[in-house]
Structure 1
Amino acid sequence: MVEGAAGAARPLFGRDQARETILLVAHRAVDRGGAVLVTGEAGLGKTALLADVAERLDGWTLLRVHADSFESDLAYATVETLIRGLNGLRRDRAPRLPHPEPSADALTVGRLLLDAIDAIDGPVCLIVDDAQWVDEPSARALRFVVRRLSDQGFLFTAATRPQPNSVTALFDDVSAATVNHARIDLAPLTVADTQELAQHLLGHAVSRRTATRLTEATQGSPLLLSVLLKQLRETFAQALHPAGWDLPATAITPLATAIGSALEGAEPPVREAAETVAVLRDPLPLPVVGTIAERLGTTVDIPGAVSRGLVHAGQRDGVVWVEPAHALLADALTGGIPLERRVALHRIAAGVLTGHRALRHRVEAADRTDPTLVDELLAAALTCADQNQPEQAFSYARSAVHLASGTERERALIEIGLIAMRFRLHERIFELRDAIEALPASPSRDAVLLELRTLTGDVPGALALGLALEAATDRDPDARVIRVHVAEALPKVFMAMGDFGGVLDHLEQARRLIADCPAPDEVADPALRWMAHPEEHLMRLLGWALNSAAHARRPDLFRPLTAELDSLLDTHESPAAVDALVSRSRVFILDGRIEQARADLARANALVRRYPGSWTAGFARTIYAHILFLVGEWEESVTLADTAVALALDETDLSCWPIALWTSTLVRAGRGEAEAVEERLRAAAQARPGITGSYDGDLPYLARAELARALGRPGDQLAAAEEAEAAANRGSNLGWLTYRVDALAALGRPAEAREAFDRCAAAGMWRPYYGGVRWLEGRVLQAEGRLDEAREAYLAELDDRPGCAFPFPRAVAALDAGLLLGGLEPAEGASAYDRARAAELLEQAAATFRSLGASGYLIRTAHALDRLRSATPETAAETVAGATASDPLAALTTRERQVAHALAAGMTNKEIAERLYVSVTTVNFHVRNILAKLGLRSRRDLRGLGLGRRAPRGGPVKS
């Protein structure tokens, strides 16, 4: 890591377009942040490209991190490297940043990094090289940091191999929320590129034929081409004429031989050094490498290997560390070493090194039938699991699976399956399902398969396994604790089949099994003891049962189940409590009891901050954000929805990610932010069908319908409603039917509007979330020309006090009523009384639209007031004069509105940063923009706009 300044740029061949793309993103990133992902196989020049760009970033602070393959399973290994570099940049008196513990929360670590980066003046560029080796906890912390710095002078760049990994997921997440990003897939150099490189290194052009043979020999790798051409300089200089020079026949060999040519003529210690460092692979202190070489009985010449470009050396804390110059070189060199010597080197390294690295070298050196090492790996996996370190646990278990055979492999497969169950890592063992299926039947094996079959779509197979486990009579504590888990897991299988009655039929048997749960110390297998918590299983069971009772139309069960759940919740807080509360909130929503749903979700969100490992953590945030949208707390809604989007990919249940994106569009749709709505809907559409989840599939259609109405496009509004109808989503609240009736009335199609309205009135699931029935009836009556009846319907809707629970649709109704009563719609003239009432209704609507930031609606309302004012006496005009001409925050983005409202509520910049999951620097950036756009000089001027001073409900939104 260095503090960057421009330097002399090195020549870079075949990468001009990639370089210019990154520099363009960097130029834009000075004001609004940016992200770049460079992918390519080893040797294609990813590191060189980023180094070239870094030299051109004049005035930027560069933070460089090189991930480590051996440390990829160690929590926060990458972050630790980043912190070390940040400490080097801090002022002498500034306190050094602490290194995170492996069990630390990723959000806490992320905030630590944010604060450190905030202390750096000017734009910052974070470069993560070999990002495929970034450990998962570091990736989560980096995702937190990058998303919160995405709208200030910050550029995130990463280089990785093409396979999916945590950093590519991080980039995809960030790119879904910003237009300033680029993904660059490096391809091998072309023949023309090779010609340019050869001309630079040899001093003269080579023929296309020679360039073709060079390209084929090196697979278009810039690194290998450079090494090879440097070795061929002498033969080129001896050629009679440069244009006639050809590649020696001996150089046209496989890749390994091309590497060998770099060592041609090297003394044995140079070769030994290159090969030893290649096998050791990751950075190690030079004295440690010397000790390993000495015990191996070899002499190594590290400086000689460095001079030939095969080994990289650098100082760290006053000690020289060495590593292979490139992973491809290490692969090729290692492949050329006899297996016996390679194993010996790994064994010696395992004896010299300690801890994680030692165990990893033991794995590399081990015979695949080594039961002792398998035992050690499984023991290490269980220790890590008990210490709540799932990544390390899973890595050790995976190695055990690879090394074991026979009965040991059977055991390893079950152990890795149990770890996946414990930490909700099922997706990582999907490819092992066939192997687990082939194992001899046992309760542990069947419990693992029960969830694997459910998640991979084999629901009938899962049901058969679950029922067989439930019916077993073995009284062994291990078998009993597995049946306790199955008792809570079977309802999910029934619900996946749509058999909600089956959940209720299963309820009493599940209760009996849970009541028979053994104590943890009775369970012989330590890998099963985490299941021995009956309260956890019972709470989830009650949540599934409540959800099923609602779908099965069994209201008689709701009261006793709720009472039982409440008694547990009073004394027990856990991830299972989150799942139970979220399940019950869905029932409340279906039943129209919004306030009860809100209370459950507020409580669930408070618990999620302490127990983020629940099945429904993402849904807790997402559904709560939807509720807040419905009840008119749009600033809270969009804040929580954006938080849900930011964290969704870290959640146990990835299905909440597209739903979080859908929910985050609702407020933006009401505000007419077309680009933001479409961007999020496109991102959500990229989700695999298997993770789309089950909560209100109408949301994307409702967002498009609302956006169309906000922009005054009834045709598009109708099209979105018709798409929702065609989708026929299960559990729909028919909100799309509201938009359909409204659009048909606006389009002057009364017969179709009447037919759609009759469906609304007859629908047993109708809820007034998106518009009351009387208002909707008024829309139809107005389209039919029955204006007196339309007025009566509108006024009846507005006089209905319960309708106040949904201020946005109420304001829309007030706008429509004001237009009609004021004679502002195509109709007969209105009386003076009508105009006075119209002014009152339009003022009420404008006040609501202003508070919500619904600028399009507010502009229409302001125009209506202007027209009404021009037709009323002067006294009436004074009533409306200056009331609501425009939205004072209309020029702001949704994020800036959030900051503005928080400032008006008296929150400090630090409090706002915590609430919005951004850095203090980002808040400062938004405050400057807000004041500039509004022409204000201070926060006091902002508070003078009268935005409201209510503190956010429940304090800062956290997770």
Structure 2
Amino acid sequence: MRRWELPASDEWFVGRVAELAAIGACVDAVSGGAGRVVWVEGDPGSGKTALVNHVVAGLPAAFVVRRSAADESAADQPFAVLRQFGIEGGESPQAAGLDLVGLLSEAGGGGPVAVVVEDLHWADRESRQALLAVVRRVGEERVLLLVTSRPGAAPDGWERLFSDPSGRLRVVLGSLGRDDVGEMARVAGLALPARAVERLHEHSGGLALYVRTLLTELSFSQLAAPGGDLPVPRSLASTILARLAGLPPDARQLAAALSVVGGVVPLPVAGRIARVDHPAGALEALLETGFVTWRPGEASTPAGFTHPLYRAALYADLAPTRRRELHRAAAESLDAAAALRHRVAAADGIDDDLAQDLDESAAERAGRGARSVAATYLLWASSVGSDPQLNERRVLRAARLLLEDGQTARAAELRERVEGCGEGPLRSLVLGQLAWEEAASTPAESWFIAASESAGGPEPDGEVAAAALGHLGALYYTQGRGREAVEAATRLLALGNLPGELERNGWIALAAGTAADHGAAAALDRLASRLPQPAESVRAADADLLIVRGTLGFYAGRTTAAIADLRAAIRLARHGAAAAQLPRAHMQLAQLLLYSGEWDEALVHARTALSLVSGERRVWIDAQVHAALARLFGGRGEWQRSDEHLTAAAAAAAEAGTIEAVVTTRVAQAAVARARNDPGQVVEVLAPLVANTRLIPMATSLAWWPGLIEAMIDGGELARAAEQIELLGTAARQRGLNMQARIEGARAHLEAARGRPDQAGSSYDRAIALLTADDPLLDRAGLHHRFGQLLAARGGRRRQAVDQLRVARDLFAGAGAEPFLSRVEADLASHGITVGERGSRSPLELTDRERDVAILVAKGLTNREIAAELYVSQKAVDYHLGHIFAKLGITSRRELRGGVFN
């Protein structure tokens, strides 16, 4: 269902010059290839729809337009707004949003698309979250997203989108000015004197809909009267009711029925609810007011109010008994899902049958993942049920569902009712979850412990207690309390017959707790008993466990296996499995590809992760993604972009305050300093991390430590470097990490600095023999480079020196590590060996999206595979590829693979 626009509303449009100019700039940007989001806020009647209609009417002919509108009566129907675009939804809003991105991209066929979503404040939560996924991708597509809402109605992260105004415009509609009111009067054919315009402006407060209504309903003589107030009530509601009062009884009855239904409804159904025998005649009278519209081209001739203000004014004026009668009639005439709301509104006291129906509908909706709707049904049931204890449990279950659905604010509104419930595991669990969401970890722990005491007992308290153990495990491992996390997880998993999600949460807590106490390698060993199969064989339901395994693989230094895990997990998550973890999967994969030397693909995944979390408060991911991008750009000598991401990473880390975010940012700062060949800065940034090695978390990678040792040696701090080599060896053994090649390489570097070339040469030989594909590329290439330098300095070893330098050169060149590559080539040149001119790997004339497409083409992916990687349509890939060919002056994919990016 949707609300249609006022007929010919653009004829009444006046003013809004500044707003139109700002939106016009966004239209121009989209025409030029850059996506934009425009969010129009305003009070009811301020002219949001009129402004959007005016913008859409003036769009260039190349734009494809897609529209939808939220409906208050469908706010509890998951994906109701998305279904208007042809998206049925799925297992997750994230997946549905990505489907919509692909649909819009395909609809545009490479050209610009305008997407209108009206009344966001009434949209169902699943559609709002899915649209957020669209917003995060808009900057990479030729899409203009126009959203309208009332002020203060910014749910689910929408408000935070505009903390970063890049590519986003927020338009807040205020009142019309006096000149605008005079212009609207002229549009209505009324040449009012200035005194009358001023009075009309003062009387209406400049509210666009109010002005239009008065101009429509009053005569020129009434509007231009020389003095006194206008001869109508001051409120728009009174104006509407006064107009309706003059209609025939059947028309008033039909209007009342439409106000109760709330949305668009077939005319015969509306007539049945209104008890009007001839609804067509009644509708004809209503249409003359302009308050109601219909669609005569459809067989059922659906009708509804043209503006929510009209509906609200009439509904508020209905007497309580008449309102209940109409709700009862609506419940008898509408489908079962819609009827529930009307049955509740019609209830006049206790109705246990209705409460039971609501309980059953809540269970069915919760089983389908519509937790918010289920919570609403339970709260309704608590208001009509007769059993006080059962009503308390309904309130507690509703609060729990809201918390599990991420609707913390709505759940917090129930706090007093929750606290007033009798003691029990469910009450303790909900209070613990509320405390945890408020970062009050101490009371949260106490509540979870209290709730968990019934673990293993009879249902339903046994299931609640099991959930409490899962929350306890998560609380413990996020605080680094590994042993306690393992104990909680072990108790949980010992219960058996657990729901799938709860069982997986238990394994996640068990693995994370093991990592916190014994390192990521030990956690992988433990997880292997639950997830032994290779990545490609893991079922969709276990996608979140696969992401955990890939993350642990990153920290355990098992780069190759972890890359396979995360690539497989992303493929599963694209189709809804563990879609909420997609940003982490892309972020972690970018970091792994950075180590493996696949820097082009790492850029793609880092940018994808950033786009998936843009606007959300996931600063812990933000810090790591920006850090990865800083390392990638710094490693390629793109200093300005690197510095921008370092600044963003530092800001996110400061806000997050987690060890992971802070350490990752420091590692990125050191990596950029290393690329700049500034060992002093590397030591300054990383030395605090080893000031007390007992404080280094067990569940962390130590891949940054060899870089610190290298910088100490290059800075002449040899004794300090020797001490750090031993500390690193101990720390790696404690965590089960294979860092032998890098440790032996550090010893070789130290021996060379001490003037012991024979010992250094032997150590380099051993280090290179120990190297594996899991060792970071820069460390592998650096080993060969330093060994080549040592051999060259000894004399008589030119061939061996050149061989090592060439290996280093090829490794650096494969990643596009320009600063490191230049230093190796300078050493080769000193031996009379020159290298042919290199092509540009990342031509500056390409946009980020075009670079991503070019990178994936260079990897050998088809356009269809690229579309899946980037969450766009194949037509969009075709469009971008055409631009790439034109900009680079090439004609084939082979040229792109062979010359530009390789």
Q: Do both share a fold (TM > 0.5)?
A: yes
The match for 1:92 is none
Please report how far the alpha carbon of residue 923 of structure 1 lies from its aligned counterpart in structure 2 after TM superposition: 0.9
The match for 2:64 is 61
Residues 288 and 490 of structure 1, relative CA distance in 2, 3 Å threshold: same
Q: Would the aligned equivalents of 1:811 and 1:849 in 2 still touch at CA under 8 Å?
A: no
Residues 481-560 of structure 1: pairs in structure 2 closer than 5 A: 481-506=463-488, 509-510=491-492, 512=494, 514-515=495-496, 532-533=498-499, 537=502, 540-553=505-518
Please report how far the alpha carbon of residue 217 of structure 1 lies from its aligned counterpart in structure 2 after TM superposition: 4.1
Distance 2:490 2:776 in 1: 43
Residues 809 and 299 of structure 1, relative CA distance in 2, 3 Å threshold: closer
Residues 76 and 665 of structure 1, relative CA distance in 2, 3 Å threshold: farther
2:298 matched to 1:309? no
Q: Which segment is superposed worse, 758-767 or 791-800? A: 791-800
Distance 1:917 1:56 in 2: 30
Read off the aligned partner of 2:424 and give its amino acid letter: S
2:183 matched to 1:180? no
Residues 246 and 654 of structure 1, relative CA distance in 2, 3 Å threshold: farther
Please report how far the alpha carbon of residue 48 of structure 1 lies from its aligned counterpart in structure 2 after TM superposition: 0.7
| Of 113, 116, 119, the match for 1:130 | 119
Distance 1:234 1:427 in 2: 50
| Of 148, 153, 157, the match for 1:159 | 148
Q: Would the aligned equivalents of 1:669 and 1:677 in 2 still touch at CA under 8 Å?
A: yes
2:802 matched to 1:802? no
Please report how far the alpha carbon of residue 400 of structure 1 lies from its aligned counterpart in structure 2 after TM superposition: 3.7
The match for 1:46 is 48
Please report how far the alpha carbon of residue 809 of structure 1 lies from its aligned counterpart in structure 2 after TM superposition: 1.6
| Offset from partner CA, 1:396-455 (integer Å, 9 cap, x none) | 334445666844531321221453476666665233234223210123333333433333
Residues 153 and 946 of structure 1, relative CA distance in 2, 3 Å threshold: closer
% identical equivalent positions: 24
Residues 928 and 506 of structure 1, relative CA distance in 2, 3 Å threshold: closer
Q: Would the aligned equivalents of 1:618 and 1:657 in 2 still touch at CA under 8 Å?
A: no
Structure 1 residue matching 2:174: 3-state secondary structure: coil
2:366 matched to 1:385? yes
Q: Which segment is superposed worse, 380-389 or 109-118? A: 109-118
Residues 365 and 643 of structure 1, relative CA distance in 2, 3 Å threshold: farther
Q: Would the aligned equivalents of 1:612 and 1:651 in 2 still touch at CA under 8 Å?
A: no
Distance 1:645 1:157 in 2: 22
The match for 2:5 is none
| Offset from partner CA, 1:345-401 (integer Å, 9 cap, x none) | 222222222222222222333346544333322211101222344353344334445
Please report how far the alpha carbon of residue 913 of structure 1 lies from its aligned counterpart in structure 2 after TM superposition: 0.6
Q: Would the aligned equivalents of 1:76 and 1:138 in 2 still touch at CA under 8 Å?
A: yes
Residues 29 and 769 of structure 1, relative CA distance in 2, 3 Å threshold: farther
Residues 470 and 893 of structure 1, relative CA distance in 2, 3 Å threshold: same
Residues 817 and 125 of structure 1, relative CA distance in 2, 3 Å threshold: same
Structure 2 residue matching 1:415: 3-state secondary structure: helix
Distance 1:464 1:551 in 2: 22
Please report how far the alpha carbon of residue 918 of structure 1 lies from its aligned counterpart in structure 2 after TM superposition: 1.4
The match for 2:593 is 628
Read off the aligned partner of 2:26 and give its amino acid letter: V
Q: Would the aligned equivalents of 2:683 and 2:712 in 1 still touch at CA under 8 Å?
A: yes
2:882 matched to 1:922? no
Distance 2:602 2:383 in 1: 47
Please report how far the alpha carbon of residue 910 of structure 1 lies from its aligned counterpart in structure 2 after TM superposition: 1.4
Unpaired segments of 5 or more residues in structure 1? 2-6, 84-98, 240-244, 518-531, 824-829, 949-959
The match for 1:852 is 815
The match for 2:437 is 455
Distance 1:42 1:24 in 2: 26
| Offset from partner CA, 1:261-303 (integer Å, 9 cap, x none) | 6558666665555444333321122332233223599997434
| Of 779, 782, 807, the match for 1:813 | 782
Q: Which segment is superposed worse, 698-707 or 74-83? A: 698-707
Q: Which has the higher contact order (CA 8 A, sep 6+)?
A: 2
Read off the aligned partner of 2:221 and give its amino acid letter: T
Q: Would the aligned equivalents of 2:583 and 2:613 in 1 still touch at CA under 8 Å?
A: yes
| Offset from partner CA, 1:669-710 (integer Å, 9 cap, x none) | 544566766777788889899988775543344445545665
2:204 matched to 1:218? yes
With normalisation by structure 1, the TM-score equals 0.77
Q: Would the aligned equivalents of 2:520 and 2:555 in 1 still touch at CA under 8 Å?
A: no
Residues 241-260 of structure 1: pairs in structure 2 closer than 5 A: 245=226, 248=229, 250-251=231-232, 253-260=234-241
2:262 matched to 1:287? no
Structure 2 residue matching 1:441: 3-state secondary structure: coil
Distance 1:700 1:257 in 2: 60
Structure 1 residue matching 2:170: 3-state secondary structure: strand
How many residues are aligned here? 884
| Of 349, 358, 363, the match for 2:344 | 363
Residues 109 and 318 of structure 1, relative CA distance in 2, 3 Å threshold: farther
Q: Would the aligned equivalents of 2:330 and 2:342 in 1 still touch at CA under 8 Å?
A: yes
Residues 202-281 of structure 1: pairs in structure 2 closer than 5 A: 203-204=190-191, 207=194, 211=198, 214-215=200-201, 217-235=203-221, 239=225, 245=226, 248=229, 250-251=231-232, 253-260=234-241, 271-281=252-262
The match for 2:20 is 19
Q: Would the aligned equivalents of 1:819 and 1:838 in 2 still touch at CA under 8 Å?
A: yes
Distance 2:770 2:253 in 1: 85
The match for 1:953 is none
Residues 609 and 158 of structure 1, relative CA distance in 2, 3 Å threshold: closer
Distance 1:52 1:838 in 2: 71
Q: Would the aligned equivalents of 2:40 and 2:171 in 1 still touch at CA under 8 Å?
A: yes
Residues 883 and 557 of structure 1, relative CA distance in 2, 3 Å threshold: closer
Residues 708 and 237 of structure 1, relative CA distance in 2, 3 Å threshold: same
Q: Would the aligned equivalents of 2:749 and 2:786 in 1 still touch at CA under 8 Å?
A: no
| Of 32, 35, 54, the match for 1:33 | 35
Residues 756-905 of structure 1: pairs in structure 2 closer than 5 A: 762-763=727-728, 764-765=730-731, 772=742, 799=768, 801-802=770-771, 805-810=774-779, 813=782, 817=786, 840=803, 843-855=806-818, 857-858=820-821, 860-861=822-823, 865=825, 869=829, 872=831, 876-877=832-833, 880-882=834-836, 884=838, 887=841, 892-905=846-859
Read off the aligned partner of 1:321 and give its amino acid letter: P
Read off the aligned partner of 2:212 and give its amino acid letter: S
Structure 2 residue matching 1:565: 3-state secondary structure: coil
Q: Would the aligned equivalents of 1:822 and 1:838 in 2 still touch at CA under 8 Å?
A: yes
Please report how far the alpha carbon of residue 551 of structure 1 lies from its aligned counterpart in structure 2 after TM superposition: 2.6
Structure 1 residue matching 2:88: 3-state secondary structure: coil
2:88 matched to 1:100? yes
Distance 2:607 2:634 in 1: 14
Q: Which segment is superposed worse, 72-81 or 213-222? A: 213-222
The match for 1:73 is 76
Structure 2 residue matching 1:189: 3-state secondary structure: coil
Read off the aligned partner of 1:44 and give its amino acid letter: S
Read off the aligned partner of 2:814 and give its amino acid letter: S
| Offset from partner CA, 1:221-278 (integer Å, 9 cap, x none) | 2111221233344235754xxxxx5562544734433444655866666555544433
2:899 matched to 1:910? no
Distance 1:504 1:427 in 2: 31
2:81 matched to 1:118? no
Distance 1:323 1:8 in 2: 16
Read off the aligned partner of 1:46 and give its amino acid letter: K
Please report how far the alpha carbon of residue 323 of structure 1 lies from its aligned counterpart in structure 2 after TM superposition: 1.9
